[in-house]
Amino acid sequence: MRWNALFQDLELQLAEAGVLGLESEIAERSRADTAAIALDERLRGSLGCHVGIHLSSGPVFAGTLSHAGSESLVLDEAAQQVLVPYAAVGHYTGLGRFAVGEASLVRRRLGLASALRGLARDRAELTVLLAGRSPDAQLWGVIDRVGRDFFDLAMTLPGEARRAGRVAEVATVPFQALGALRSRRGGEL
């Protein structure tokens, strides 16, 4: 009878050790999976959700996340859209726990420069918020051209169309200085 109790006790200890080992392995795999998730994948997992984007320079945007690319995102606010480079963000609020990888090789290659070239092509009127500056550091105008790591903004007065005679000056903005681009009255990003 003593032998039966001893064997039952040993079986319980082995079973318990097996469960603990399995739980430990699951936890370790979960940590490894989480460590492999990139920010853009996490943002794609929150597409269609209401999120907050807090720039390092201070401004905060809130709206529906409509696009998450390799280097930037687009947020739909009530009346405007905002393009924000990931490098300008201090933190996010409202992100879900899911992550979605980008299946398209073409989309993975499209970066901030591609989005800016599209805005230049469409002659979209924009408000440019500069990173690392006061929230009042804004430029208004239309993107004239986009280089590898900069863009030229033909500066106009707010609400004025870009015409040769109405360009006050051209500002060259390095990508690293870009905080956000906000579309003007009904303009689409």
- In a domain, residue 46? The reply is yes
pLDDT at 153 over 90: yes
pLDDT at 11 over 80: no
Whether 56 and 2 share a structural domain? no
Domains of the chain: total: 2
What average pLDDT does range 28-32 have in this prediction?
60
pLDDT at 42 over 70: yes
Query: Taking the CB of residue 88, how many other CB atoms lie within 10 A of it?
Result: 22
Residue with the larger pLDDT of the pair 35 and 121:
121
Do residues 69 and 160 lie in contact, with contact meaning Cβ atoms separated by under 8 Å? no
- In a domain, residue 169? The reply is yes
The parent domain of residue 87 ranges over: 39-183
What average pLDDT does range 111-130 have in this prediction?
91
pLDDT at 14 over 70: no
**Band of pLDDT at residue 75, cut at 50, 70 and 90:** very high
Residue type, 77: E
**Band of pLDDT at residue 49, cut at 50, 70 and 90:** very high
Give the pLDDT score at 109: 72
Do residues 148 and 116 lie in contact, with contact meaning Cβ atoms separated by under 8 Å? no
Rounded Cα distance between 122 and 130, Å, is 22
